[in-house]
Structure 1
Amino acid sequence: MTKELRRISIVLLAMFLVLFGSTSIIQVAQAQNLAANPADRRSLYDSYSIERGAIIASGTAIASSVPSSDVYSWQRQYVDPQMWAPVTGYFNPVLGSSTGIENAMNQDLSGTGGSQFLARLEQIISGKPARGSNVVLTLDASVQKAAYDALGSLQGAVVAIEPSTGRILAMVTSPSYDTNSLAGHDATQVNTTYDQLVAQATNPLYNRAIGGNLNPPGSTFKLVTASAALATGNYTPQSLLPNVASYTLPGTSTSISNDTGGTCGPGDQVSIADALRLSCNIPMAELAAQLGGETIRKEAEKYGFNTSFDLPITSTASVYPSNLSDTRAALSGFGQGDVRATPLQMAMVSAGIANGGVVMKPRMVDQVIGSDLSVQQTFGNEQFGQALDSTLDAEMVQMMVANVSSGIATNARIDGVSVGGKTGTAQNGPTDPYTLWFTGFAPAENPKVAVAVVVENGGGRGQSGSGNSLAAPIAKKVMEAVLGK
């Protein structure tokens, strides 16, 4: 071989290696970023010819693709669409829009994720038709149905979590919508349906479980206030607070009262445990004023307040503001004023207490599985933080159990099961309907589920309903579904 030919060979080899390296970087290392880029129209067009992967819950596909006779090749189809709408969302190639898991896991479902490069290469070599991967959810279909049926036509939401892992077992919102109606390929019809849904005053497109217009958590937030007090080391469940029938908020002439209009039981003083059990507002406002807003905020953030979570659906952060005045801090002690929360957040509070004070990050996906049934990705459990040490947390558990066994959360009782819980009846204005809450867990000794329920618009009862009368029975049915009762 002549010297010149050798040089040319070396240059060609170098060029080939550079080209191979560049294409490998683009197709592997940068694949996910490129596929996620909205300007990448080729990925969008390629996805039309690919059979989109299924979304699976409890071994059954709740979202899948069926052949269509138009240019888009495949039509997305949903099972029990209204029940699963806040989970699956919808996918529409005509409008280039998607929500829910369809959006959050789009790269995996469409087969364009970086982890699927080898699978795509194998499909090309073998001549097999391209297909996206399946997404296996953490949600339990039987628990989802129990939550959906229990909530019924009430406006609100339900979230159930496995305390030790953070795995979401159920996510229901009402009113809901038919995801199939927004997945069709007739753009005019879909746009008309979408506009009709947006125009409804009840906002059926909202996922109230993790977002929408956030509600004051009412008395369910008393759990965070009590937790903050114990965490300081200066209070115990038996610490006493003044027991009065009227309390003037610090720095104001505005007075508040307990729901009963009287004192929190007999005596001139009441313990934190009894104030929680009887869900009295005044003692918790007094306690919050003593603690101060910053102490409560720091504890609230240990449970997840002021943090948005990627489930992978992105949740709206629940709110506990910084630098509250003494007046606003006192109101926050019983979940009023400036505090706002999602059912996901209040389920995390109960889950953290149920789990020895350890708060787990919530998640909705277990695995991504290829069309050949190979496991391409597994999602593990991840700790978010430690809200309380185990000794103090055990005291919170005891107080929550007392709320259900001998307090005002009696409608969450389950025969033969020790249940912990807390109700809430949040005010929204002088004449506005209440927002009704329950959050809790079961069984107390070895918790399998933590749940939060919100019923908006007073459950149709204006200001006559309560968390115990409407929200607690819903939570009971969800917990029973998990426990097989």
Structure 2
Amino acid sequence: MAGSKGGPINRSLGHVAMAGAAMLFLLLGHITIVQAFGSQALNADRRNERPLIARFGHPRGDILTYDGTAIATSRPAGGGPYLYQRVYRHGELYAPVTGHLALYRSTGIERAQNAVLSGDDAKVKVRSLVRDGTAEGADVRLTISDRAQWAAYQSLKATGVPGAAVAIDPATGAILALASYPSYDPNAFTTFDRTRLVETARRLRRAPGQPLLNRALHRAYPPGSTFKLVTTAAALASGEYEPDSLVNAPARLPLPGSSSSVRNDRGCRDTRPTLLYAFQASCDTAFATIGLQLGQDILRDQAEAFGFNAENLAIPVATTPSRFPSAMNRAQTALAAIGLHADRATPLMIAMLSAAVANDGVLMRPYLVEEVRLPDGSVINRAGPTPYRRAVPATLAKHLAAMMTTVTHAGGTGTGVAIPGVEVAAKTATSRAVPGAEDNALVTAFAPADKPEVAVGVVLERPGARAADVASIARAVIEAVLA
């Protein structure tokens, strides 16, 4: 009797137990799902303070120049939930490189190298724990030269004109200077006062000259006559031209199927000069004619060999691609051959043009990080220079280099880049950004021409009467590297 009376109760308890087990299983499964797949979203939620407190709970690795100058460090915050605060030395000078670390956002090297700087990188974490049992951020030593960066930024600032300058070691791809003007002070973003942080961001976004814009990497300009390096390379590679070949350079070239025309300035006097003279004097109609003869496909292939239309180039900071257009008519092809129409190039790309020519036609992959090392000085990662593009054959690169040196001699358009006692190879340009707007001024150059140590690209936006300053900026950066 007792067993029969207990049967229904036992079954009910069994059902309850099964239901409880099922709910427990669902609860544990949900927790697992949240931890495995939802933690990233929870950590990113601005209402969650724990990741922020952890982010600023220990010293972050330093960012140093190649010369060893610490340009980004951590210091005690002096109270509150956030224990450490970022400090930027010579903030405006290095802002295009370091970027900044704020409560909710990071830019530049601070973002690109966050894992090693914060200590979250697996290699950094393991080495730190094995050494002394604590997790620490690693230091990032850059390729930036103190002298070159100072010369680039101060020369830009002296003009008072928005622009950018980049310097590259042609043999390795190491970026020696990367400056943008106007700039901003990254220390303004290190506050933990949210109201002040929002006001700072709003003020700088609205400031004249767009100081938050990294012009060196993230603004692309019509390259103008600097693109004639590409057109000349395509002409020489075609086998139909030599430096002493005669080319057509009429004073005025009507564009096919258009009411517009291309005209030469007063510096290009000969209507049938050699290719060398057309390059030295920068005869627009000569290169527009060459572009028509070669066609858009050959020009595009050569442009892409220099790095145009390349996606996802990171140094490791992400860069804006430089563009050579597709699907053009003949009039547009003629304009593209002289760096107009829809051609666009960043100042980094302008420097890369010269870097490729200077390195016997091999463009090395540009990079900003020389090495990563722990606080005890042990190096856990060191840059290895790698080829990025074969822009032109070595023999052709020597022809281009020789042609570029004539530009800085008497009669050339780039005499302002010339340095006494040093042979400088260059190509200068003006380019109209928007119809009716003032021209931009550009220069690409390398030196010494016989044994290159530095290649530069400089752009000034709508400089007006100060257009010639673009050459003096390039000269100052070259001199700083060679000093």
Q: TM-score range by the shorter chain?
A: 0.7 to 0.9
> Judging changes above 3 Å, is the alpha-carbon distance between structure 1 residues 432 and 326 closer, same or farther for their aligned structure 2 residues?
same
SS at match of 1:64: strand
Deviation of residue 293 (structure 1)? 1.2
Mapped to 2, the partners of 1:474 and 1:172 lie a distance apart of 11
Deviation of residue 345 (structure 1)? 0.3
Q: Which residue of structure 2 aligns with residue 437 of structure 1?
A: 442
Residue segments in structure 2 that go unaligned for 5+ positions in a row? 1-35, 45-49
> Residue 405 of structure 1: which of 405, 409, 417 is its match?
409
Q: Which residue of structure 2 aligns with residue 175 of structure 1?
A: 182
Q: Which residue of structure 2 aligns with residue 356 of structure 1?
A: 360
Superposed, 1:297-336 pairs within 5 Å as 297-307=300-310, 308-336=312-340
Deviation of residue 37 (structure 1)? 5.4
Q: Which residue of structure 2 aligns with residue 367 of structure 1?
A: 371
Residue segments in structure 1 that go unaligned for 5+ positions in a row? 1-32
Mapped to 2, the partners of 1:372 and 1:243 lie a distance apart of 63
Q: Which residue of structure 2 aligns with residue 219 of structure 1?
A: 225
Q: Which residue of structure 1 aligns with residue 191 of structure 2?
A: 184
Determine if contact 1:434/1:465 at 8 Å carries over to the other structure: no
> Judging changes above 3 Å, is the alpha-carbon distance between structure 1 residues 63 and 43 closer, same or farther for their aligned structure 2 residues?
same
> Residue 337 of structure 1: which of 341, 356, 364 is its match?
341
> Residue 271 of structure 1: which of 264, 274, 277 is its match?
274
Deviation of residue 47 (structure 1)? 2.6
Q: Which residue of structure 1 aligns with residue 18 of structure 2?
A: none
Determine if contact 2:249/2:283 at 8 Å carries over to the other structure: no
Deviation of residue 71 (structure 1)? 1.1
Determine if contact 1:294/1:324 at 8 Å carries over to the other structure: no
Mapped to 2, the partners of 1:371 and 1:43 lie a distance apart of 24
Mapped to 2, the partners of 1:219 and 1:38 lie a distance apart of 49
Amino acid at match of 1:134: D
Mapped to 1, the partners of 2:109 and 2:86 lie a distance apart of 13
> Residue 122 of structure 1: which of 130, 151, 168 is its match?
130
Determine if contact 2:56/2:85 at 8 Å carries over to the other structure: no
Amino acid at match of 1:231: A
Superposed, 1:231-246 pairs within 5 Å as 231-246=237-252
TM-score (norm 2): 0.87
Mapped to 1, the partners of 2:250 and 2:274 lie a distance apart of 13
SS at match of 1:241: coil
Q: Which residue of structure 2 aligns with residue 229 of structure 1?
A: 235
Mapped to 2, the partners of 1:233 and 1:87 lie a distance apart of 42
Deviation of residue 430 (structure 1)? 4.3
> Residue 93 of structure 2: which of 61, 83, 91 is its match?
83
Deviation of residue 40 (structure 1)? 4.7
Can you list the C-alpha shifts for 1:365-412, whole angstroms capped at 9, x where unaligned? 011101221111112111011111111111000000001113110000
Amino acid at match of 2:361: G
Mapped to 1, the partners of 2:406 and 2:287 lie a distance apart of 17
Can you list the C-alpha shifts for 1:19-62, whole angstroms capped at 9, x where unaligned? xxxxxxxxxxxxxx99x956556765433212100000011110
Determine if contact 1:89/1:100 at 8 Å carries over to the other structure: yes
Deviation of residue 201 (structure 1)? 4.0
Deviation of residue 141 (structure 1)? 0.8
Mapped to 2, the partners of 1:476 and 1:38 lie a distance apart of 50
> Residue 82 of structure 2: which of 63, 72, 80 is its match?
72
SS at match of 1:396: helix
Q: Which residue of structure 2 aligns with residue 16 of structure 1?
A: none
SS at match of 1:210: helix
Can you list the C-alpha shifts for 1:65-116, whole angstroms capped at 9, x where unaligned? 0001221110100000001000000001x3x210000000000000001211
Determine if contact 1:156/1:455 at 8 Å carries over to the other structure: yes
Deviation of residue 258 (structure 1)? 1.2
Deviates more, 1:319-328 or 1:445-454: 319-328
Amino acid at match of 1:472: A
Determine if contact 1:87/1:100 at 8 Å carries over to the other structure: yes
Aligned residue pair count = 436
Mapped pair 1:50 → 2:49: no
Deviation of residue 168 (structure 1)? 0.1
> Residue 97 of structure 1: which of 95, 105, 109 is its match?
105
Mapped to 1, the partners of 2:133 and 2:262 lie a distance apart of 73
Q: Which residue of structure 2 aligns with residue 252 of structure 1?
A: 258
Amino acid at match of 2:476: K
> Judging changes above 3 Å, is the alpha-carbon distance between structure 1 residues 230 and 37 closer, same or farther for their aligned structure 2 residues?
farther
Q: Which residue of structure 2 aligns with residue 286 of structure 1?
A: 289
Mapped pair 1:392 → 2:396: yes
Give the CA RMSD over aligned residues.
1.8
Mapped pair 1:475 → 2:474: yes
Determine if contact 2:217/2:319 at 8 Å carries over to the other structure: yes
Mapped to 1, the partners of 2:203 and 2:391 lie a distance apart of 44
SS at match of 1:256: strand
Deviation of residue 180 (structure 1)? 0.2
Q: Percent identity between the aligned chains?
A: 40
Mapped to 1, the partners of 2:40 and 2:223 lie a distance apart of 38
